[in-house]
Chain A
Amino acid sequence: MHLSFLIHNAYGIGGTIRTTFNLASALAERHDVEIVSVFRHRDEPILAPGGDVRLRHLVDLRKDTPGYEGDDPEQERPATVFPAAEGRYKQYSALTDRRIAAHLRSLDCDVVIGTRPGLNVHIAQQARRGPVRVGQEHLTLSTHSAPLKRTLRTVYPRLDAVTTVTEADAATYRKLMRLPGVRVEAVPNSVPAPAVAPADGTGKWVVAAGRLAPAKRYDLLIRAFEKVVAQRPDWRLRIYGAGAERAKLRAQIDKRGLYNHVFLMGPANPLDPEWVKGSVAAVTSSLESFGMTIVEAMRCGLPVVSTDCPHGPGEIIDSGVDGLLVPTGKVDAIADGLLRLINDDELRKRMGREALARSERFDPARIAGRYESLFADLVARGALRGSLHRTRGALLSNAFRTKDAGRSALRRGRAA
């Protein structure tokens, strides 16, 4: 098959980029795969797609290059196809509308895959007839704003499939959206086997990694670790990552006198050599669309103590077997979970071995296999069925559009 991914910016760093590259390079072993990046702001991608994946861009934002298009007058005019309710709306413009449309009209592939809601909207409305249209949801439906949900409900019936990263989110899509004939399937993110040997469980370090953002709740982890230190002062905590919360977390560490035990390490790439320095991983988020870091740590042989927050952790960790799930937002529960693994060397090492074995299901080859059979099914669904579905999708789309237009007219009427 010829597969074409459409991504916001493949030259940056982030979870969607990482997982798309993992998937694309695994699929490239048996298929012809390209990644089309709407934007390009640097010469070389920070994370390199492996294998025979082709990478190209639609809009060049590299300053000081002859092809620079950031000053194109069309860049000044707002986008009309890319939905206004999408988080990245401000970066899109009349220029991206036009470039993406031209790209989608000239697609020469069997399957086109969108990697974020705004791009899925483009694909649903503008991809030429023929290629199978797949929209990936890397976040979750429930975290989108109401206006974005309405937009997606309007245009997603024109897709052939929507993929989510958790069963929980797939269930939400099936419940809240009317998507007749659209396959809604959960396919977890993939994480490759690390190139370093797994952790041996002897180091007295707990490791956490992620953006220093409020949703990660590192404040809870620091408070929980204060309780750990009270009992086990020989154990220490490293938190990898950068972000807006850094100063607050620094102040919290200083105030609690934890500067000999809790360390803000800054960002690290790759992370695998850092995971293996620890023996336990900690995730204290209030929300994880998937939980890439949980899988990364498990693939390095670490048992993870994670809050049982929506949506991912509960589908990754088998609590008590290959890690521990603890109630979300509870400092004592997090501390107890960490201490249980810290105080029991045998349990910790056994869970580490289980984590290593059970996380193999997230290997790119396995995940690519799941995508491969989904794509093959959709391609085999045939042109006739496909066009019937498209017609129905288009009709449904129009019906929703009318209804939503009525709704906003009504709202305007109320507001007046």
Chain B
Amino acid sequence: MTTSAPRHHPVTPPEEPTIVSAPPRADCIADSAGGLTFDVDVWGRPAPSGDWTAALVLRRRVADADADSDEVRLPLSPNGDGRLRAVLPSTVALPEGRWDIHVACGEDDVRRLVPGLNDLRSLVDRTPSQSASPLAVRIPYATKHGNLSLRSWLRLPHAEAADIQVESAGITARGVLYRVQDPQAWLAGAVVEARCRRDAALVHTVPATAEGAEFAFTLPYGPLAEVWRGGLDVWDLWLRPAEGEPVRIARILDDIADKKPVFVYPARPVAAEYAPAQAGPYYTADNDLSVRVDEREPAAR
């Protein structure tokens, strides 16, 4: 969406405003198909004309500062109530990650957006359609600095975690498989793998039961605690079909960009040879489901 045309300068250059203007603000409405519509207030800027091209610029954050980040530009056009509108349909592929949202008014004027109203009600309890294309999930959120960003997931297939029952000996969790031709066939003989991050050789497997696209599994803490040697052990949970690639179990089908502080499960004391330990399920920073084994809190020993 970048323009290579030379910029035409108006006859009378507009005077730079001397007061610091408020940062541009965007309201965002989500539709149930995973599409997002942004309405942007661009204060103190004229409506787009031939002079410059207004665009919503999404830049993916990358861990390596030297690496080029992905960039997606969406055209902004007047929405009829004095603001500019950009649409991000679910069909525009957005690689997984965190995307910072900017507004570009011409090539040199790119500014970070701050969130206005995020109307995400259609994402709550979202049930995506069953098809064979990747499942796209985008959840806008306010960063800790108060800017507007977007979390994106792109999964094919996707294993969505639902309720988790925490017992003293382990967890029993349910979930739903999306975006496979025949979920029942895919799930026949499927297992859940707990993979230890500390040592790739440590994998504990339990059977998964299935009914239609729904699956369930019980993961005891015992085998995870047995190999614990102090510190924090994280076990990532994967759903592995009898044949084919495994899928990370995650919870992404709602309006909550960061599950970790909201979907909280109690840790239970577990017997471990090494020292008193505790174990419990949690969602990672990417909303994937994991189990951690850690030292027991002093009060609970």
Report if A241 contacts B (CB, 8 A): no
- Mask of A178-199 contacts with B, CB within 8 angstroms, 1/0: 0000000000000000011101
A292 to chain B, nearest CB (A): 19
Which of A263-314 touch B at CB < 8 Å?
Answer: 263-266, 270, 272-273, 276-277
Query: How far is it, in angstroms, between the C-alpha of A257 and the C-alpha of B163 when the chains are bound?
Result: 11
Q: Which residues of B contact A203 (CB under 8 A)?
A: 121, 124-125
Having A203-B124, A263-B263, A277-B124, one finds 14 other A-B pairs with CB under 8 Å, namely: A197-B119, A199-B121, A203-B121, A259-B164, A259-B263, A259-B264, A259-B265, A260-B163, A260-B164, A263-B262, A272-B117, A273-B121, A276-B121, A277-B121
A254 near B266: Cβ-Cβ < 8 Å: yes
Contact of B166 among A259, A265, A277 (CB under 8 A): A259
Interface size class of A (residues with CB under 8 A): 20 to 34
A205 near B262: Cβ-Cβ < 8 Å: no
A266 near B121: Cβ-Cβ < 8 Å: no
Q: Which residues of A contact B165 (CB under 8 A)?
A: 257, 260
B120 near A204: Cβ-Cβ < 8 Å: no
B interface list, Cβ under 8 A from A: 27, 117-121, 124-125, 163-166, 255, 261-266
Q: Could you show 22 A-B contacts with beta carbons less than 8 Å apart?
A: A195-B27, A195-B117, A196-B117, A196-B119, A197-B119, A199-B121, A203-B121, A203-B124, A204-B125, A205-B124, A250-B264, A259-B166, A259-B263, A263-B262, A264-B264, A265-B262, A270-B117, A273-B119, A273-B120, A276-B119, A277-B121, A277-B124
Query: How far is it, in angstroms, between the C-alpha of A28 and the C-alpha of B166 when the chains are bound?
Result: 55
Q: Which residues of B contact A273 (CB under 8 A)?
A: 117-121
Query: How far is it, in angstroms, between the C-alpha of A250 and the C-alpha of B266 when the chains are bound?
Result: 9
Query: How far is it, in angstroms, between the C-alpha of A260 and the C-alpha of B161 when the chains are bound?
Result: 12
Q: Which 8 A-B pairs have the closest CB atoms?
A: A254-B266, A260-B163, A277-B121, A196-B119, A277-B124, A273-B119, A259-B265, A263-B262
B121 near A259: Cβ-Cβ < 8 Å: no
Q: Which residues of A contact B117 (CB under 8 A)?
A: 195-196, 270, 272-273
Q: Which residues of B contact A257 (CB under 8 A)?
A: 165-166
Q: Which residues of A contact B262 (CB under 8 A)?
A: 263-266
B255's nearest neighbour on chain A, judged by CB, is A277
Query: How far is it, in angstroms, between the C-alpha of A103 and the C-alpha of B119 when the chains are bound?
Result: 43
A45 to chain B, nearest CB (A): 12
A interface list, Cβ under 8 A from B: 195-197, 199, 203-205, 250, 254, 257, 259-260, 263-266, 270, 272-273, 276-277
Query: How far is it, in angstroms, between the C-alpha of A254 and the C-alpha of B124 when the chains are bound?
Result: 23
A266's nearest neighbour on chain B, judged by CB, is B261
A48's nearest neighbour on chain B, judged by CB, is B22
Query: How far is it, in angstroms, between the C-alpha of A264 and the C-alpha of B256 when the chains are bound?
Result: 12
Q: Which residues of B contact A250 (CB under 8 A)?
A: 264
Q: Which residues of A contact B119 (CB under 8 A)?
A: 196-197, 273, 276
Query: How far is it, in angstroms, between the C-alpha of A208 and the C-alpha of B265 when the chains are bound?
Result: 21
Query: How far is it, in angstroms, between the C-alpha of A197 and the C-alpha of B29 when the chains are bound?
Result: 11
Q: Which residues of B contact A270 (CB under 8 A)?
A: 117
Query: How far is it, in angstroms, between the C-alpha of A257 and the C-alpha of B171 when the chains are bound?
Result: 13
A199's nearest neighbour on chain B, judged by CB, is B121
A259's nearest neighbour on chain B, judged by CB, is B265
B154 to chain A, nearest CB (A): 25
A12 to chain B, nearest CB (A): 15
Q: Which residues of A contact B124 (CB under 8 A)?
A: 203, 205, 277
A367 to chain B, nearest CB (A): 23
B267's nearest neighbour on chain A, judged by CB, is A254
Q: Which residues of A contact B264 (CB under 8 A)?
A: 250, 254, 259, 264
Most interface-central of B118, B121, B262, B264 (chain A CB within 10 A): B121
Q: Which residues of A contact B27 (CB under 8 A)?
A: 195
Query: How far is it, in angstroms, between the C-alpha of A263 and the C-alpha of B263 when the chains are bound?
Result: 7
